[in-house]
Amino acid sequence: MKQLLWWQKGMVGFVFGVLAFLYLPIVVLVVFSFNDSKVTSFPLAGFTWHWYQAVFANTQMLTALKNSLIVALCATGLTLTIGTLAALVLDRHEFPGKGLFRNAILLPLSLPGLVTGIAMLNFYKQIGIPQSLTAVVIGHATALLGVVVSQVMARLAKTDHRQLEASADLGAGPVETFFRITLPSIRPAILGAGLLSFTLSFDEIPVTYFLTGRDITLPIYIYSTLRRGITPEINAIGSMIVLVSLLLIILSVGLLRDRK
């Protein structure tokens, strides 16, 4: 190994610093979820499962969790279907307004979620969709189209169009070609986009905030609890969410790697 110069050593330290900045807060969250005290301060007060038990006894929180899972699942399924179709349209066809169509789909990715939420709220009110979890699912599925479209389009751009011509040449119709050639080649992108959409929907606040009715999702529950103050229960449910997120990441890395 080559000797590092002084400034390179400095950079190694700096990078460790940034990584610590990124991970220490998460560690703090997990540590305090096991801390036997109502306040999150040092020195630690001893180990407890109490906050986890409290989570599982909190029916309001569990209902919110269930709502979040249902919303995330439905929104992901919907956005994957529409998003994949949209990516195919954008990849294969020229039509007037194509640029507007693409930019509109991608816009929610960089636009603050509140603006999208407000736009949807205005519109839903006008056409009579009531504030509800259904409205949230439609809102999420629409706002997350950009995630699916950008990933699937990137993958389609790498796919050789002559494969499609070869498939047609060998006698496969468009539908058969889609399922036997196109879909396998974009599957990693769909998987990746699906996982990301699920995570984002599960975690979404601004759009949900405006579109949900009496039923609330977990982030909204946590958000409204936090406005009142800290409770270690949040540390416990938070730690569990972190754990599940990490498992999902490992799963997705594994899934996407096998495809290569």
Partner 1 sequence: MRRPASSILKTAGLFSLPLGWTLLLLIVPYLMMIAVSFWTRQFPLFVPDFQFGNYVQLFSDPQYTTVILRTLKIAAMVTAAALVLGYPLAYFLVFTLRSERLRNLVYMAVIVPLWVSYLLRAYTWKIILGTDGALNSALMSLGVIDAPLDLFLYNQAAMVITLTYIFVPFMVMPIYAVLENIPKGLIEASEDLGIGPLGTFRHVIAPLSLGGVVAGAMMTFCLSFGDFVAPVLVGGPDGIMVANLLQTQFGAALNWPLGSALATLVLIMVLVILGLTGWAERASARNLR
Site for partner 1 in 24-83 (CB under 8 A): 25-26, 28-29, 32, 39-43, 82-83
3-state secondary structure 77-100: HHHHHHHHHHHHHHHHCCCCCHHH
Length of the chain: 260
Which residues, numbered 197-216, are part of the site for partner 1 (CB under 8 A)?
199, 202-203, 205-206, 209-210
What does the DSSP 8-state code read for residue 171? T
Q: Toward partner 1, which CB reaches closer, 112 or 184?
A: 112
User: Using CB under 8 A, which of the segments 46-54, 59-67, 69-77, 100-108 binds partner 1?
Assistant: 100-108
Count of H helices and E strands in the chain? 13, 0
Q: Is 144 in the site for partner 1 (CB under 8 A)?
A: no
Among 45, 115, 166, 251, binds partner 1 (CB under 8 A): 115
Q: Toward partner 1, which CB reaches closer, 15 or 157?
A: 15
Q: Is 231 in the site for partner 1 (CB under 8 A)?
A: no
Name the minimum Å distance from CB 241 to partner 1: 5
Among 57, 166, 183, 226, binds partner 1 (CB under 8 A): 226
Q: Is 174 in the site for partner 1 (CB under 8 A)?
A: yes
Phi-psi region of 128 (alpha: psi -120 to 50; beta: other; left: phi over 0): left
Burial 69-98 (b: 16+ CB within 10 A, else e): eebbebbbebbbebbbebbbebbeeeeeee
